[in-house]
Structure formats: structure tokens, C-alpha cells
Structure 1
């Protein structure tokens, strides 16, 4: 049976993919149009999710703070001025890196102690950080939904329950 954290991460990928599919259906200018919201555009929201997911892969891998800081700069360079389709490719590549990492883990509940520059050491478990990554993505997909609606278009439902129904229908 698949560990719950891995199923949650599969949901995260599924929900991101649904947003990319929806955004590709909308006029091209929707992606970069500036709006009054949490982020100034849909593009910038997607960059934020990608950058944060990149950071947390390093945290899960128990990289040093210097390595994590370098990954932030790499993510910023990779995403600079990228269009929707290019961002979709970056997301897919990052999801594959996560899957490679997860496949190398024997214990998704193993304890880890990441260190945050402002908050210090955190005693937690790998699976709890995966849940954090998924929660972070869910929060910002909510921002995306609001932004798409603010621009006058319907969004796409990405609730976890819909993922479960979708997964059941495809199995």
C-alpha cells in the first residue's frame, strides 16, 4: 500500500497539472496579466510554487543551508521570463526529481531535523514535510482560482476529493 505522504504528493502533481491544462485553454494574456491579488500575476504565483517546491526538495534531501540557498537562485534563473508551457515542463521535471527521491527512501516517516535560518531546528518527519509541501501548493492553487475568476474565467476544481474520484475512475 502506498504511503499516505506519497499519495498526497501524487495529488499535488495532479492538481498542478489540472491548472496547467486549464490555463492553456484561456487566452495567452491571462498568464501574465497583472492583477490586484496575493501575487501580481498567475505567472508569478506559479513561479512561487515552483521555487518553494525546489527549496523543499533540498530540505527533504537534508541539504545544507548553502545548498538550499543555491537552489533558490537556480530556481529563479530557471523560471525567469518563462512562458506557460516552459513552466509546465519545469514542474514535470521537478516532480520527477521528487519521485526519484521518494523511490530512494525506505522510511517515509523517518525523523529529520531541518534548520531554518529564522526559526532554528525543527524535529519532524519526512512525511510531515511532504504534507507541508502539498498544503502550500493547495493554498496557492486557491490563489490561482481566485485570480482566474477575477479575470472573468471559471477555474478548475482541484479538491482532494475530486482527485480521489478521478483516480478511482482511471484505475
Structure 2
């Protein structure tokens, strides 16, 4: 039977791999393509990619015991893809390291945090599941925007990652 830690570590490693695949393509786009208005909730590739980074940064700050920086969910912290790529690589590694240091007891525990002045408490395993599901959701939006713009489709399904890691 797989442990929670092993399962979430697999999700973190898949997340890192999928981001590497996606960002390799994003780095081939020019600035006008990255900022082009799209029929998407966050309006563009760069805004959507920033939203994923901001969400992860906020959640990691909540669960690792440090309150995160005060970003809004639509903050554009990085205007250029190279700086965002560097930050994404660092954040993916930080998520992996965080999970590597968890025990089963930690994962079964609660996390308390403040959101907009309200104190909230969640199961850590629910928060971890949310982090990775949130990324997958928005990576799909990025994939759709890239495909609409370039015709390039990406194989980002987890099964592809599992096959190369087997």
C-alpha cells in the first residue's frame, strides 16, 4: 500500500515534470504571444502562469508555517517568461522538498492559516490535493491557449509521466 507521503511526492514530481514540458513551449513564444488577450479567465498566458505561481506561493506559505506574501490571485509578479520560469522551477523544487520532509502524521494533521483576516483550518491532505488539482486545472487552460495560438499540443497527462518513471 502506498503512503500519503509517497502519493503526494509522486504528484509533486509529476507537477514538476508537467511544468517543465509546458514552460519549454512557453519559452518559445514571443512577448506579444505571451501577453495576447485570450478568451480565458486570466486574459493571457502570462497572467494565467502567474496566477498558478501566486496560488502555489500563497498555499506553500500557509502550510509550511510562514504566512505568505500579500499577493492577489490576479497579481502579475513576473512580466517576462524567463523570470517566471526560474521562479516556477524553484517553487516546484520547494514543493517537492516540503513533501519529502512530511511524515504521515503531518499529512493527516490540520493546517491553520489566515485568509483575508479570517482564521481557517483545513486537513493538510486536502490542501495538498487542492494545490496539485489547481495546477492541473490551469495548466489545461495554458495548454488550450498555446494550442489555439500555435497548433502545438502537449502530452501532459500523468500517465505519460508515470510511463517514463516506471
TM class, shorter-chain normalised? 0.7 to 0.9
Please tell me whether residue 54 in structure 1 is matched to residue 53 in structure 2.
no
Separation (CA, whole Å) in 2 of partners of 1:60 and 1:115: 8
The alpha-carbon deviation at position 116 of structure 1 amounts to: 5.4
The alpha-carbon deviation at position 54 of structure 1 amounts to: 0.2
Q: How many residues align?
A: 160
Please tell me whether residue 12 in structure 1 is matched to residue 15 in structure 2.
yes
Match of 2:6 among 3, 6, 13: 3
Equivalent residues of 1:38, 1:143 under 8 A apart:
no
Please tell me whether residue 140 in structure 1 is matched to residue 138 in structure 2.
yes
Please tell me whether residue 88 in structure 1 is matched to residue 85 in structure 2.
yes
Equivalent residues of 2:147, 2:153 under 8 A apart:
yes
The superposition leaves residues 47-70 of structure 1 with CA deviations (integer Å, 9 ceiling, x where unpaired) of 00000000110121133xxx23x3
The alpha-carbon deviation at position 115 of structure 1 amounts to: 4.0
Aligned-residue Cα RMSD (Å) equals 2.6
> Match of 1:114, SS?
strand
Separation (CA, whole Å) in 2 of partners of 1:71 and 1:155: 35
6-15 or 91-100: bigger deviation: 91-100
* Structure 2: runs of 5 or more not aligned: none
The superposition leaves residues 97-134 of structure 1 with CA deviations (integer Å, 9 ceiling, x where unpaired) of 2233233323352311334547853341x333222111
Separation (CA, whole Å) in 1 of partners of 2:122 and 2:78: 34
* Structure 1: runs of 5 or more not aligned: none
> Match of 1:113, SS?
strand
